A = this chain, B = another copy of it.
Amino acid sequence: MSRYPADTDAQAFRIPVLAVVGVGLIGGSLALSLKRHGVAGEVLGLSHDPVSLQKALELGIIDRVADFEDIVQADVVVVATPVSAVEAVFKAIVPFLQPHALLTDVCSTKQQVIAVARRVLGKRIGQFVPGHPIAGAETSGPQAAQAFLYEQKQVILTPLPENHPEQTDLLTRLWEACGSTVCIQDAATHDRIFASVSHMPHFLSALYMYSLLDADQADLKLKYAGSGFRDFTRIAAGAPIMWRDIFSSNRDCMLEEITRFQRCLEQARQLLESNNTEAFEAWLTAAAQARRDWENSPT
């Protein structure tokens, strides 16, 4: 039995009590958006960090600071912590999760989170619908949360065979209410895609910053960094623990990406060293064309 009317209008349904575990940029923005669109009734906030909770309360992101026991009141529970905290959070939640409640997450990698969920949730696994909003910023914490973060963004759901279609539909409507487009993928495809187009850019951007620091006169050099540098390194400022967890939980895909990049890098270095300008120009042209095509492609 559903507590939600089978109405296709995203505005028409309501989550009486929403619990958000982790009230930073991602969880906080979701709470703000669902409140603004009248979807969430009461929003409970949980976090290991009392300062973040207090801030989230002050900013109107949550209505009440809650403990895990309060999960019994929740109709939807969103886990918005770094991947490494998910196991402990699931363990703390599961004794209090109502049979009708939907549990979801917002982690950037899905296979490891699903493995953890299977281990911890046991026969409650059908209540967990994994999710990943393709939105973020180089800022973090509740003060970075914004109600519009998910507008015109994509959200990937990687439902499990055990999920009731009604639960997946509910999560779809929740994200659509935030202005997002929802897409269904299997978890392995998801992790491969995002290793390539999200995790690798972050890895390379951060590694470039690190290699710059590793050299002489980094301070002098940084004084002359311009707008290309600004954009290229923006993501390197992202939350280190969150990204450490993403790389580590998507290790196999990342190692494959890194190995391929290392091969391309060594090839390009040799072309430069041997002054093979024709081949060098060819790969630069292919890269530029692909980037322009992407910019101009309708999505």
Contacts and interface: CB of A to CB of B under 8 A. Distances in A.
A277 B211 contact: no
A41 to B, nearest CB: 30
Contacts of A294: 222, 225, 233
A141 interface: no
A229 B280 contact: no
A285 B240 contact: yes
Nearest to A233: B291
B251 A275 contact: yes
A48 interface: no
A201 B248 contact: no
Interface of A is mostly: helix
Question: How many copies of this protein are present in the complex?
Answer: 2
A205 B232 contact: yes
Given A209-B290, A240-B285, A198 B229 contact: yes
Contacts of A128: none
A250 to B, nearest CB: 10
A2 interface: no
B254 A258 contact: no
B272 A223 contact: no
Interface of A: 134-136, 138, 153-154, 156, 192-194, 196-198, 200-215, 217-218, 220-229, 231-241, 243-244, 247-248, 251, 254-255, 257-266, 268-269, 272-273, 275, 277, 280-281, 283-288, 290-292, 294-295, 297, 299
